[in-house]
Amino acid sequence: MVLHEVDPTRAVENPPTGSLGSRPGDPHVQDFLEGKTGLVLGVANKRSLAWGCAQSLSNAGMRLAFTYANERLKSGVEKLAAECKGSIVVALDVTKPEEIDSAFETVKTEFGHLDTMVHAIAYANREELQGDFFNTSKEGYMLAHEVSAYSLTACARRALPLMKGREGSIITLSYIGAERVVRNYNVMGIAKAALEASVRYLAADLGPRGIRVNAISAGPIRTLSASGVKDFNDMIDHIAETAPLRRNVTAEEVGDTCLFLSGEHSRGITGSIIYVDAGYNIMGI
């Protein structure tokens, strides 16, 4: 299936717009996930990668539960969720175990089951996303790991009973800073390494129960979280100059990979880190 025709005269900094799952009513994907339910953690605003994922899933017919991390974000998340048919919104700060429990209780009551969980959350103190990594405080290190890595396992455990017998799919978001040194990414790189290892251990645990666990390693995209990384714009420029596709990727492209990982076309894939980065990860010198 041809998704985008390649125009050789196209300016490389302009990625193809529109995408498979992000076009409402696209006949290719309409109803593809009808009757399925998903939990999307991590929408902060319309730039969030979680929102790109939610749009692709919702446009394919999946009913979604959204979470918001704090009261400040609540109304914005509610507004976006209203664009997705049949969705619900629940509070979920992953540093509060009782809130994780009650969010999953609500999903159980409202949906009865769960087919997909998208984990698109991360946090580190802004002052630790710059300068020397060796200055990372113990508190900052623990916080980054609690929110950005441990929360995947904490939520997967709660999702497990809701995915029983449903060939569930758990998807998280990572970055190449997990594997290589990326200037200023610092403690978040260590947390992403833990997250990617968690994907493999969870995939091994949950595979026999029919549940798949994968990560999307996305290229840099301007979002609220990304703005906390010092010199983030330099990363964006570097990718546009050096990635094989000579451009950056979009939240819609991440969303469509999430759609793929949620559906039966990816049924043979688990424990993988899938790159949506315009090919940047293959480059050496």
Ligand X SMILES: NC(=O)c1ccc[n+]([C@@H]2O[C@H](COP(=O)([O-])OP(=O)(O)OC[C@H]3O[C@@H](n4cnc5c(N)ncnc54)[C@H](O)[C@@H]3O)[C@@H](O)[C@H]2O)c1
Binding positions for ligand X, rule: CB under 6 A: 42-44, 48-50, 69, 73, 92-95, 120-123, 147, 173-175, 218, 220-221, 223-226
How far apart CA 285 and CA 278 sit, in angstroms, is 16
**CA atoms within a 13 Å half-sphere pointing along the CA-CB vector of 18:** 7
Considering the complex, what minimum distance in angstroms separates the CB of residue 84 from ligand X? 16
Chain-centroid distance of CA 54 in Å reads 10
Task: Decide if 175 is catalytic.
Answer: yes
Residue with Cβ nearer ligand X (60 or 92): 92
- For residue 232, the minimal CB distance to ligand X (Å) is 8
Q: Is 185 a catalytic residue?
A: yes
Shortest separation between residue 126's beta carbon and ligand X, angstroms: 12
Closer to ligand X by Cβ: residue 189 or 263: 189
Q: What's the min distance (Å) between Cβ of 198 and ligand X?
A: 13
Which of 162, 188, 164 shows the shortest CA–CA distance to 176?
188
Q: Do 243 and 202 touch, CB atoms closer than 8 A?
A: no
Q: Is 144 exposed, middle or buried (0-12, 13-18, 19+ CB in 10 A)?
A: buried
> Which residues are CB-neighbours of 92 under 8 A, at least 6 positions away?
41, 67, 68, 69, 99, 100, 103
Catalytic, out of 68, 123, 185, 280: 185
User: Catalytic residue among 68, 175, 275, 280, which?
Assistant: 175
**CB of 147 or CB of 159, closer to ligand X:** 147
- State which residue, 32 or 249, has the beta carbon closest to ligand X: 249
CA dist 166 to 116, 129, 211, 271, Å? 10, 39, 8, 18
Q: Distance of alpha carbon 226 from its chain centroid, rounded? A: 13
Catalytic center residues:
175, 185
